[in-house]
Amino acid sequence: MLRTIRATLRRDSLVPRLAPLAVALNTLGIGSAVAAPQFNLDFLRGAQSEDDVAMLSNPGSVLPGTYLFSVYLNGDEVAREQIPFERLPSGEVQPCLSSANLQSWNIRVPSHDQAVDAQPSCEVVPSLLPGSKLSYNGNQQRLDLQVPQVHLQTLPRGYIRRSLRDQGINAMLLEYAITGSHDRQDHAGTSDYLFASINSGLNLGMWRLRHSANLNRTSSERSAANRTQWHSRSLRAETDLGSQRSRLVLGDTYTSYGVFDSVRFRGARLANDDDMLAFSQRSYAPVVRGMAASGGRVEVRQDGQLIHSINVAPGPFEIKDIVPSRMSGELEVSVIGADGSLQRHRQAFSAVETMLRPGLTHYEFNAGTLRNGEERYQPRFVQATLARGLRSSATPYGGVLLAENYQSIAFGVAHDLGSFGSASIDISHARTQLAAGGSRSGQSYRFLYSKSLNTHGTEFRLVGHRYSTSGYYDLSDAANEREQWRNDHYESWDHDLDTDDSRPPGLPDERPPARQLITSARYQNKRNHLEVAVDQRILDDYSLNLSYNSQNYWGSDTSERNLHLGFNGRLGRANYSLFFRDTRARRGGSDRSLGLSVTVPLGRKRAARANASTAYSHSLRTGANYQTGINGTALHGEKLGYGLNLGRSERGGSAAFNANYTGSKGYLSFGATQARDYQQLNWGASGAWVVHAGGLTLAQSLQSSNVLVHATDGAGIGLENRTGVRLDRRGYGVISGVAAYRNNRVALRSDDLGGDIDASRINGTVVPTRGALVRMHFDTRRGNNLMIHSRLSNGKRVPMGAGVFDKQGHKRGVAGPDGALFVSGVRADDSLSVRWGQETYQACELHLASLRLPATTSKHQGYRNVDLQCTQSAALPRDRP
């Protein structure tokens, strides 16, 4: 209601009409917060108890009872619980908390006071925790605790209690993406193509059931047979094991990459879920240690930016929850003493992917059958890995893998080398029973390195150099060796790599894919693999990046190689990039290409919604290619995207147009291409359906974790920071892609809340578990805003401070001076009750039907002044109002 009032006051055209309301609000303490309003209860005739004016003297207070409140500790939400409120002898209504409550919120309670946790005490916070403060706001259902650091248990930054995790509601989920095209080629006639991806799911309690499938249909004028293929990609069920910081997956899934290479399999997977950790613990960072001679404050900076600040006591200190802005570089540590002294030192660090913070353990257990593709040979296997972060900044890790005809064991260690970077080295030993007969044993050595040269702006990563002896097979190689063994030799199919790829993206090639049968007497397992990446910043506007990877094989002279060199810069408002690429496939098909592209924003500097771009590239295989075009966005919220492109290549000129629209229920796209010897029309549509207890809700998309937003009478209201998303006619909408196990803010767009909508709150936070559909409800109500000038049946005014309630018991307003009642969100056929005490005669009824009101107040009208008698059902004593 207060939000509606303030929105009304902001409209300049209503100021003359709002003078009476402003007086009432000022009296009620809604205006300036210079000082809390104080009232002499003797002036409030008819007030039989302080309950009559509790809302008047403190607009955020509540009456005694038990309410669901969000609990905030030093500004961070820690719980949502039923909190009892009681009246103290002083007359104040205060929450009653037990020491058990405080302990569950990670507040330290003196051990000699543990006995008091059996019964809640309204004095427990000030009595047990000196220096603490407690406040609450009944309108926001929020309880705030301000507790000195000395009374708090040490927790990492970003820690979210398990009690706040929301498993969500039961629901059926379906997400679809459909693309299609109609093509006409001079040499092949017409063809049609349709592809549909369907991801479905079912949420039941803590369990998530997921299924993914594809539908592929092609038809051609040259082919009498149309091809339709349905492919079920995966089916799995999964759930959290929150107490173990783990997740259980049953069905189709993948092993993680780390100790062993990742493979797809069908079976069971039990592993740590690092997203359940506090955000400051999810990736490696060093422990910062030092000495504070006189106490004071420690500040940690990276690249000149403050990333951590904490007060410390005199003596040695350790900081374990630093969140670096990037995963390598130097930390500048400043110790600012209470005596004004300043000490500084630098601490270099780097991290490779296998490193863990000190004290953290990561485990994984997998069991099932290998499903790496369409292979007929699918061996059963069991795999277990374990890693542990040590205080010395080292992370030892290892694992064992047992499969049919295959066994492997691995061990390694990763270490932060300080100013020298970070590195890891591991060795794997494997024994493979070959389909060709006999067995092979061998080793594989892997080395990873990462280093940042801050002063030069260089990020250097030797992501991997793996060398394997001729007898070493990983699990995928061991399975492929048995798959390819045919008639005393190995057979494999290799696609023709010289196929012309100069066509625009999305235009299918009607020629059948060329394949080559490769035979050999020896299976060609992996030998050397090298991958390097270097990023170099040059001043503020330029960057240089280099990436290189190569792979060769035992028993073969062939190899694979990819080299990419890029340069990006800015000149005025224009952004440009250059690249050089050199590729070599395993069996021929090498190519070299280079290119230049320039993009310039059109329009004003800060409001440009369109860009012009041009690009040139040249390839040994396809020759020169020129492209120039314009792309941009339009409509409110940039819902419409468009692009126009003109190109020329060795095959001739082409023109293409595309457009896409983002709506509240999905995405639509359309495109057309015209060239010398072909034409194409393409289209696409994607969206999602959610079936829940409230019905069917359409959405733009679904991702791992999502929020179902519901606002009573909220049809058409938009959601903050969500392009195109609006609540449907029943007040439902879906926010997709929220972060699991983290606080996510959900808010209604305040610009969509006119004077005809009353809302007790318009934002909140949710902490979903992985895969959950969390329901967030907002109590909004469309109706009339009225200033009711009312009298009782005896002609007297309703006492100041009286509350106005609807049929459901929701408070809709309060009585101001001279009995003026401001109410919001009421409807034409509502009956309102006014109460100012516990006696039957201290109540009356307002029947709005006689006013013949419209359904709602105009968004720009503010409120209406009406006169209405308040009818009492009980006779008044002569000495009472």
800 and 775 inside one domain = no
Q: How confident is the model at residue 26 (pLDDT cuts 50, 70, 90)?
A: very low
CA–CA–CA angle 134, 138, 143 (5° rounding): 30
Q: Are residues 76 and 137 in the same domain?
A: yes
* 766 lies in the same domain as 795: no
**Of 386, 428, 381, 387, residue with least CA distance to 401:** 381
Q: CATH number of the domain that 768 lies in?
A: 2.60.40.2610
- Which of 331, 350, 369 is the C-terminal boundary of a domain? 350
Rounded Cα gap, residues 872 and 834, in angstroms: 10
- Convert the pLDDT of each residue in 453-475 to its tens digit: 655 556 666 667 888 999 999 99
- Answer yes or no: do 861 and 803 share one domain: yes
Q: Does residue 338 sit within a domain?
A: yes
Domain limit, last residue, from 164, 195, 216: 164
Name the domain count of the chain.
Answer: 4
How far apart CA 667 and CA 674 sit, in angstroms, is 24
User: In 3-state terms, what secondary structure has residue 349?
Assistant: strand
- Of 832, 848, 712, 838, the residue nearest 782 (C-alpha): 712
> DSSP character for 479?
H
598 within a domain of the structure (yes/no): no
Give Cα separations from 375 to 370, 407, 520, 686 (angstroms).
9, 20, 19, 32
Is residue 216 included in any domain, yes or no? no
Q: Tokens 């390195």 identify what position? A: 449
Q: Are 746 and 704 members of one domain?
A: yes
CATH code, domain with 316: 2.60.40.3110
Q: What percent of the chain has pLDDT over 70?
A: 81
782-823 residue pLDDT tens: 877 888 888 888 888 888 878 888 887 777 778 887 778 888
- Tell me if 588 is assigned to some domain: no
Radius of gyration for the chain, computed over Cα atoms and rounded to the nearest angstrom: 34
CA distance 704 to 559: 38
CATH at 840: 2.60.40.2070
Predicted model pTM = 0.78
Residue 118 carries which side chain, given as an amino acid letter?
A
Is 360 a domain residue? no
Under 8 Å between Cβ of 351 and 450: yes
Q: Are residues 701 and 792 in the same domain?
A: no
CATH number reported for the structural domain that contains residue 115 in this entry: 3.10.20.410
Residues 69 and 157 in one domain: yes
Distance CA 81, CA 104 (A): 11
Give the three-class secondary structure for 500: coil
Is residue 438 packed enough to be buried (19+ CB in 10 Å), middle (13-18) or exposed (0-12)?
Answer: exposed
Asked whether the predicted pLDDT for residue 620 surpasses 80, the reply is: yes
Helix ranges (H only) for 105-141 are: 124-128
The verdict on residue 710 lying in a domain is yes
Tokens of 81: 């619980």
Residues 704, 737, single domain; the answer is: yes
Mean pLDDT of 764-773: 92
**Pair (158, 92) in one structural domain:** yes
Q: Among 101, 132, 164, where does a domain finish?
A: 164
The residue type of 829 is D
Least confident of 17-26, 219-228, 427-436, 606-615: 17-26
Helix, strand or coil, per DSSP, at residue 405 = coil
Task: Note whether 123 and 89 are within 8 A (CB).
Answer: no
159 and 75 in a single domain? The answer is yes
Range of the domain at 315: 285-350
Token pair listed for 429 = 């030993």
Looking at the structure, tell me whether residues 764 and 789 fall in a common domain: no
Closest CA to 543 of 572, 574, 566, 562: 566
Backbone φ and ψ of 629, nearest 5°: -170, 180
Model confidence at 677, pLDDT cuts 50, 70, 90, reads: confident
pLDDT in tens, 364-401: 999 999 987 667 889 999 999 999 999 888 999 999 99
Q: What is the pLDDT of residue 9?
A: 37
Is 530 inside any structural domain? no
Q: Indicate if 70 and 160 belong to the same structural domain.
A: yes
Total residues found in the chain within this entry? 881
Residue 172 lies in a domain: no
